[in-house]
Amino acid sequence: MTASPSSPARTQVSPTIGVLALQGDVREHVVALTAEGAAAVTVRRAAELAAVDGLVLPGGESTTMEKLLRAFDLFEPLRRRIAEGLPVYGSCAGMILLADRVEGATADQATLGGIDMTVRRNAFGRQVDSFEQDLLAPALGAGPDDPPLRAVFIRAPWVERAGEGVEVLARTRAPGDEGDGRIVAVRYGRLLATAFHPEIGGETRVHRLFVTMVRDATAVPRTHDRSS
Ligand code: GLN
Protein backbone atom coordinates (compact mmCIF):
# COMPACT_ATOMS: atom_id res chain seq x y z
CA MET A 1 0.00 0.00 0.00
CA THR A 2 1.30 3.48 -0.76
CA ALA A 3 0.28 6.98 0.12
CA SER A 4 -2.11 8.63 -2.26
CA PRO A 5 -0.29 11.00 -4.62
CA SER A 6 -2.15 13.90 -3.10
CA SER A 7 -0.75 13.35 0.42
CA PRO A 8 0.17 16.79 1.72
CA ALA A 9 3.87 17.59 1.41
CA ARG A 10 4.92 14.10 2.36
CA THR A 11 6.08 13.29 -1.09
CA GLN A 12 9.82 13.05 -0.78
CA VAL A 13 9.99 9.60 0.80
CA SER A 14 7.41 7.00 1.64
CA PRO A 15 9.28 4.79 4.05
CA THR A 16 8.17 1.18 4.14
CA ILE A 17 6.75 0.50 7.57
CA GLY A 18 5.70 -2.96 8.65
CA VAL A 19 2.95 -3.87 11.06
CA LEU A 20 3.60 -7.08 12.95
CA ALA A 21 0.60 -9.16 11.94
CA LEU A 22 0.45 -11.86 14.58
CA GLN A 23 -2.19 -10.32 16.86
CA GLY A 24 -4.04 -7.06 17.42
CA ASP A 25 -5.28 -4.09 15.39
CA VAL A 26 -3.18 -4.76 12.31
CA ARG A 27 -5.56 -3.17 9.81
CA GLU A 28 -6.07 -0.01 11.88
CA HIS A 29 -2.31 0.54 12.15
CA VAL A 30 -1.92 0.04 8.39
CA VAL A 31 -4.65 2.63 7.78
CA ALA A 32 -3.06 5.16 10.19
CA LEU A 33 0.43 4.69 8.71
CA THR A 34 -0.91 5.03 5.18
CA ALA A 35 -2.77 8.22 6.14
CA GLU A 36 0.54 9.64 7.38
CA GLY A 37 2.37 8.93 4.16
CA ALA A 38 4.08 5.58 4.75
CA ALA A 39 4.00 2.53 2.54
CA ALA A 40 2.51 0.11 5.07
CA VAL A 41 2.96 -3.65 4.82
CA THR A 42 2.17 -6.55 7.11
CA VAL A 43 5.01 -8.57 8.61
CA ARG A 44 4.76 -12.23 9.55
CA ARG A 45 8.03 -13.68 8.26
CA ALA A 46 11.70 -12.92 8.72
CA ALA A 47 12.07 -12.03 5.02
CA GLU A 48 9.28 -9.47 5.38
CA LEU A 49 10.92 -8.04 8.48
CA ALA A 50 14.20 -7.66 6.61
CA ALA A 51 12.47 -5.48 4.01
CA VAL A 52 11.02 -2.77 6.27
CA ASP A 53 12.44 0.59 7.37
CA GLY A 54 10.40 0.58 10.58
CA LEU A 55 7.96 -1.65 12.43
CA VAL A 56 4.80 -1.27 14.50
CA LEU A 57 4.08 -3.75 17.29
CA PRO A 58 0.31 -3.64 17.90
CA GLY A 59 -1.37 -4.31 21.21
CA GLY A 60 -2.59 -7.74 22.15
CA GLU A 61 -1.20 -9.85 24.93
CA SER A 62 2.51 -9.60 25.51
CA THR A 63 3.17 -13.20 26.60
CA THR A 64 1.16 -14.53 23.64
CA MET A 65 2.97 -12.17 21.29
CA GLU A 66 6.30 -13.37 22.61
CA LYS A 67 5.29 -16.99 21.95
CA LEU A 68 4.03 -16.13 18.46
CA LEU A 69 7.22 -14.19 17.67
CA ARG A 70 9.21 -17.29 18.60
CA ALA A 71 6.87 -19.63 16.69
CA PHE A 72 7.29 -17.50 13.56
CA ASP A 73 11.08 -17.31 14.02
CA LEU A 74 10.90 -13.55 14.40
CA PHE A 75 11.98 -13.05 18.01
CA GLU A 76 15.76 -13.13 17.57
CA PRO A 77 15.83 -11.39 14.15
CA LEU A 78 13.67 -8.60 15.52
CA ARG A 79 15.77 -8.27 18.65
CA ARG A 80 18.83 -7.98 16.44
CA ARG A 81 17.31 -5.37 14.18
CA ILE A 82 16.24 -3.29 17.18
CA ALA A 83 19.79 -3.42 18.49
CA GLU A 84 20.99 -2.31 15.05
CA GLY A 85 18.71 0.74 15.13
CA LEU A 86 15.44 -0.26 13.48
CA PRO A 87 12.77 2.29 14.39
CA VAL A 88 9.95 0.51 16.23
CA TYR A 89 6.68 1.77 17.67
CA GLY A 90 4.99 -0.43 20.26
CA SER A 91 1.45 0.10 21.51
CA CYS A 92 0.26 -1.46 24.78
CA ALA A 93 1.53 -5.06 24.61
CA GLY A 94 4.00 -3.66 22.07
CA MET A 95 5.21 -1.21 24.73
CA ILE A 96 5.77 -4.14 27.09
CA LEU A 97 7.77 -5.96 24.39
CA LEU A 98 10.05 -2.94 24.00
CA ALA A 99 10.71 -2.54 27.74
CA ASP A 100 14.00 -3.63 29.22
CA ARG A 101 12.22 -4.53 32.48
CA VAL A 102 8.66 -5.64 33.31
CA GLU A 103 6.84 -5.67 36.64
CA GLY A 104 4.07 -8.22 36.82
CA ALA A 105 5.62 -10.38 34.14
CA THR A 106 4.93 -14.10 34.08
CA ALA A 107 7.77 -16.28 35.40
CA ASP A 108 9.29 -17.00 32.01
CA GLN A 109 8.29 -13.84 30.16
CA ALA A 110 11.02 -12.28 28.04
CA THR A 111 10.89 -9.05 26.10
CA LEU A 112 12.63 -7.80 22.99
CA GLY A 113 13.82 -4.85 25.03
CA GLY A 114 15.47 -1.69 23.79
CA ILE A 115 13.90 1.02 25.92
CA ASP A 116 15.58 1.65 29.26
CA MET A 117 12.40 1.54 31.33
CA THR A 118 10.37 -0.59 33.69
CA VAL A 119 6.73 -1.06 32.71
CA ARG A 120 4.03 -2.46 34.94
CA ARG A 121 1.72 -4.88 33.16
CA ASN A 122 -2.04 -4.46 33.61
CA ALA A 123 -1.21 -1.45 35.74
CA PHE A 124 -4.58 0.28 35.54
CA GLY A 125 -6.39 -3.04 35.71
CA ARG A 126 -7.00 -3.19 39.41
CA GLN A 127 -9.19 -0.14 39.15
CA VAL A 128 -10.67 -0.47 35.71
CA ASP A 129 -9.94 -2.72 32.74
CA SER A 130 -10.31 -0.16 30.03
CA PHE A 131 -10.97 3.54 29.76
CA GLU A 132 -10.45 6.51 27.48
CA GLN A 133 -8.78 9.77 28.28
CA ASP A 134 -7.97 13.02 26.47
CA LEU A 135 -4.26 13.60 26.84
CA LEU A 136 -2.22 16.77 26.63
CA ALA A 137 0.91 15.80 24.73
CA PRO A 138 2.70 18.64 22.90
CA ALA A 139 5.40 16.26 21.63
CA LEU A 140 2.66 14.27 19.92
CA GLY A 141 1.01 17.29 18.32
CA ALA A 142 -1.55 17.68 21.12
CA GLY A 143 -0.55 20.97 22.75
CA PRO A 144 -2.81 23.32 24.71
CA ASP A 145 -4.20 24.84 21.48
CA ASP A 146 -4.67 21.54 19.65
CA PRO A 147 -7.43 18.99 19.95
CA PRO A 148 -6.45 16.65 22.80
CA LEU A 149 -5.07 13.23 22.02
CA ARG A 150 -7.84 10.66 22.42
CA ALA A 151 -6.21 7.68 24.13
CA VAL A 152 -7.87 4.31 24.59
CA PHE A 153 -6.40 2.13 27.35
CA ILE A 154 -7.18 -1.59 27.38
CA ARG A 155 -5.64 -3.58 30.25
CA ALA A 156 -2.81 -1.17 29.71
CA PRO A 157 0.62 -0.98 31.27
CA TRP A 158 2.19 2.23 32.55
CA VAL A 159 5.82 3.19 32.75
CA GLU A 160 6.88 2.71 36.33
CA ARG A 161 10.43 3.99 35.86
CA ALA A 162 11.95 5.66 32.83
CA GLY A 163 15.73 5.63 32.53
CA GLU A 164 17.86 8.63 31.84
CA GLY A 165 17.58 9.54 28.20
CA VAL A 166 13.99 8.34 27.91
CA GLU A 167 11.81 11.21 26.75
CA VAL A 168 8.37 11.31 28.37
CA LEU A 169 5.80 12.26 25.72
CA ALA A 170 2.55 11.92 27.65
CA ARG A 171 1.11 11.27 31.08
CA THR A 172 -2.41 10.49 32.16
CA ARG A 173 -4.28 13.27 33.84
CA ALA A 174 -7.35 12.50 35.83
CA PRO A 175 -7.18 14.19 39.21
CA GLY A 176 -7.79 11.74 41.99
CA ASP A 177 -7.41 8.66 39.85
CA GLU A 178 -5.00 5.95 40.85
CA GLY A 179 -3.48 6.39 37.42
CA ASP A 180 -3.05 10.14 37.68
CA GLY A 181 0.19 11.44 36.21
CA ARG A 182 1.41 8.07 35.00
CA ILE A 183 3.83 7.98 32.10
CA VAL A 184 2.00 6.50 29.10
CA ALA A 185 4.07 7.55 26.08
CA VAL A 186 7.85 7.58 25.68
CA ARG A 187 10.53 7.92 23.08
CA TYR A 188 14.03 6.54 23.37
CA GLY A 189 16.15 7.16 20.30
CA ARG A 190 14.42 5.35 17.44
CA LEU A 191 11.98 3.55 19.71
CA LEU A 192 8.51 4.89 20.48
CA ALA A 193 5.96 3.36 22.84
CA THR A 194 2.47 4.19 24.07
CA ALA A 195 0.49 2.41 26.76
CA PHE A 196 -2.67 3.30 24.86
CA HIS A 197 -4.13 2.43 21.46
CA PRO A 198 -4.18 5.52 19.22
CA GLU A 199 -5.30 3.44 16.23
CA ILE A 200 -8.75 2.98 17.74
CA GLY A 201 -10.91 5.90 16.69
CA GLY A 202 -8.69 7.23 13.96
CA GLU A 203 -6.10 9.19 15.98
CA THR A 204 -3.01 9.39 13.74
CA ARG A 205 -0.66 11.85 15.49
CA VAL A 206 1.40 9.11 17.15
CA HIS A 207 1.82 7.45 13.75
CA ARG A 208 2.75 10.83 12.27
CA LEU A 209 5.64 11.14 14.72
CA PHE A 210 6.68 7.56 14.02
CA VAL A 211 6.67 8.05 10.25
CA THR A 212 8.88 11.11 10.79
CA MET A 213 11.21 9.07 12.97
CA VAL A 214 11.49 6.37 10.30
CA ARG A 215 12.04 8.98 7.61
CA ASP A 216 14.80 10.62 9.66
CA ALA A 217 16.42 7.24 10.32
CA THR A 218 16.42 6.30 6.65
CA ALA A 219 17.74 9.73 5.66
CA VAL A 220 20.82 9.46 7.89
CA PRO A 221 23.83 8.90 5.67
CA ARG A 222 25.71 5.85 6.79
CA THR A 223 29.44 5.72 6.66
CA HIS A 224 29.48 1.94 6.81
CA ASP A 225 27.38 -1.12 6.03
CA ARG A 226 24.00 0.11 4.75
CA SER A 227 22.55 -3.37 5.25
CA SER A 228 22.12 -2.83 8.99
N1 GLN B 1 -2.33 -6.55 29.28
C2 GLN B 1 -1.72 -6.93 28.04
C3 GLN B 1 -0.36 -7.57 28.23
O4 GLN B 1 0.08 -7.75 29.31
C5 GLN B 1 -1.61 -5.75 27.10
C6 GLN B 1 -2.97 -5.27 26.69
C7 GLN B 1 -3.04 -4.61 25.35
O8 GLN B 1 -2.14 -4.71 24.52
N9 GLN B 1 -4.17 -4.01 25.05
O10 GLN B 1 0.26 -7.90 27.28
Confidence bin at 12 (pLDDT 50/70/90): very low
Whether residue 225 contacts residue 206, with contact meaning beta carbons closer than 8 Å, is answered with no
User: Given ligand 1 and candidates 64, 92, 197, which is best to mutate, with the most ligand atoms within 8 Å of its CB?
Assistant: 92
Render pLDDT for 172-193 as a digit per residue (tens, 0 to 9). Answer: 975 555 557 899 999 999 999 9
Q: Judge whether 191 and 115 are in contact, CB under 8 Å.
A: yes
Please give the helix or strand (H or E) that residue 119 lies within, else none: strand 115-120
Is residue 92 part of the annotated active site? The answer reads yes
Query: How far is the centre of ligand 1, averaged over its atoms, from the C-alpha of 58 (Å)?
Result: 10
Q: Is residue 24 part of a domain?
A: yes
What is the whole-number distance in angstroms between the Cα of residue 133 and the centre of ligand 1? 17
Whether 197 is a known active-site residue: answer yes
More confident residue, 223 or 136: 136
Q: Are 38 and 212 in contact (CB under 8 A)?
A: no
Number of structural domains the chain divides into = 1
Q: Identify whether 227 is part of a domain.
A: no
Cα(167)–Cα(115) distance, integer angstroms: 10
Higher pLDDT, 214 or 228: 214
The H or E element that residue 158 is part of is: strand 158-162
Residue 1 lies in a domain: no
pLDDT, tens digit (0-9, with 9 covering 90-100), for 13-34: 799 999 999 999 999 999 999 9
- Please give the residue that has the higher pLDDT: either 131 or 13: 131
CATH code of the domain covering residue 70: 3.40.50.880
Ligand 1 atom index nearest CA of 93: 8
Please report whether residue 14 resides in a domain.
yes
More confident residue, 9 or 195: 195
**Would 199 be classed as within a structural domain?**
yes
Does residue 132 belong to any structural domain of this protein?
Answer: yes
199 included as an active-site residue: yes
pLDDT value of residue 195? 97
Tell me whether residue 29 is in a domain: yes
**Pocket lining: 92 vs ligand 1, CB cutoff 6 Å:** yes
Cβ-proximal residues to 195 (8 Å cutoff; 6+ apart), any chain: 92, 95, 119, 123, 153, 156, 157, 158, 159, 182, 184, 185
Range of the domain at 164: 8-218
Does residue 31 lie within any of the structural domains? yes
Distance CA 112, CA 115 (A): 9
